[in-house]
Each structure stands twice: as structure tokens, then as C-alpha cells.
Amino acid sequence: MIAFVRHGQTELNRDGRLQGRIDVPLSAHGEEQARALGRAFASEPVARVISSPLLRARATAEAIAAAHGCAAEIDERLIELDYGAWDGIALADVPAGDWAAWRADPTFAPPGGERLTDVTARVASFCSDVLADELVVAVSHVSPIKAAVCVALRVDERVTWQMQLGVAAISRVGRRPDGAPYLVSFNETATITPQ
């Protein structure tokens, strides 16, 4: 099983801005969320912790890995969607026509950015390589985790616009006996209580 974890809060996502590949650290609240995730996974049989290379994901992964005495591995396939010229802007500032095109067409890419179909392809590759009977925690970002859900459900990327995934939330993808992925849970937040 893969437990996909969205990293903790940052100042940019708190303010409703697209982060993409901007490499920002966790906010103070995000650091608390990371520690809470470490506690939440402490009693689970975690075999590996794998992270996006971005700082906010790595810090979250390290808090989970520390509870198991292991190091977080890095996998580039877990990196956030590249928003290109939209990195750092508020969602409200995305031009209305572009916003509509993006929602309607998974092959649309922000200027200089990445298509949702590209994210799905790399996340599908990750799932194919990593999904096993053991529990693997994969710390990533909103778009790759939604892509993993699409892979598990075998649905089009446009479904991602119908999902709300919170920061520090857990979504689990399991493996059937024939190796096919399936969705176990989405947007778990009940056990993530900062102290």
C-alpha cells in the first residue's frame, strides 16, 4: 500500500497561491503538522518513506521517517506540477479563459508549465514501481496525489477538479491480488492533530 501524504502548510498555500516548483519551507503550523503526521504513522508498519525533492515535502517526510528510524528517499516523480509562469500567483489571478481551458482539457499546460497528463504519467510509473503489500509513505503535493487517485480509479484527470485535498492529508492506494491499484481512502485528516 502507498500512503500518499500531502506536505504540511506553507506561507504560500496558506495565502491561496500556486506553489508549483517554488521551493519554500513549511510554515510554523506546517512544521506542527509534520510532527503530527510522524506521530500518526508511528504505530503503523512503515517499510519506506519516499519524498518529492521539494523542501516542504522533504521536511514532512523526515518527520515521518524519524518515527521509524529510517531516512526519507527522494523520487523526482513525486514533485509538484510545474505551473511555469503561474508559480507564486494567487488562484484568483489566473486569467478566466486560461482557468476554463485548464479545467476542460487535461493536456492544457500553464505558460511554460506542465500538463496534468504528464503528472499522471509519472505518478502512474511511481505507483507501478512502488506499490506492494508493504506500507510505503510517499510525501508529495496536491496534483501528484490527485493523479494517484485518478490512476487508482482509472478515471480522466478532469476528476481532479472535483476533489479537495487538504494540507497534511493522507490518501491511500492499495494493490489487488492481480496487481491493480485501488483507492483505499482519500483526504484523511482526523488523526492529524498538532499538539
Lowest mean pLDDT among 31-35, 120-124, 153-157, 186-190: 186-190
Buried b or exposed e, range 109-130, using 16+ CB within 10 angstroms: bbeebbbbebbbebbbebbeeb
pLDDT for the residue numbered 110? 94
pLDDT for the residue numbered 91? 87
- In degrees and rounded to multiples of 5, residue 71 shows phi and psi of -100, 150
Query: 2-188: CATH homologous superfamily?
Result: Phosphoglycerate mutase-like (3.40.50.1240)
To the query of whether residue 80 is one of the catalytic residues in this protein, the response is yes
Mean pLDDT of 102-116: 95
Q: Which of 32, 80, 114, 157 is catalytic?
A: 80
pLDDT for the residue numbered 57? 98
To the query of whether residue 141 is one of the catalytic residues in this protein, the response is no
pLDDT for the residue numbered 34? 95
Mean pLDDT, the chain, as a whole number? 94
Mean pLDDT of 14-20: 91
Q: Which of 7, 32, 114, 141 is catalytic?
A: 7
Mean pLDDT of 67-92: 95
pLDDT of 140 higher than 90: yes
pLDDT for the residue numbered 191? 67
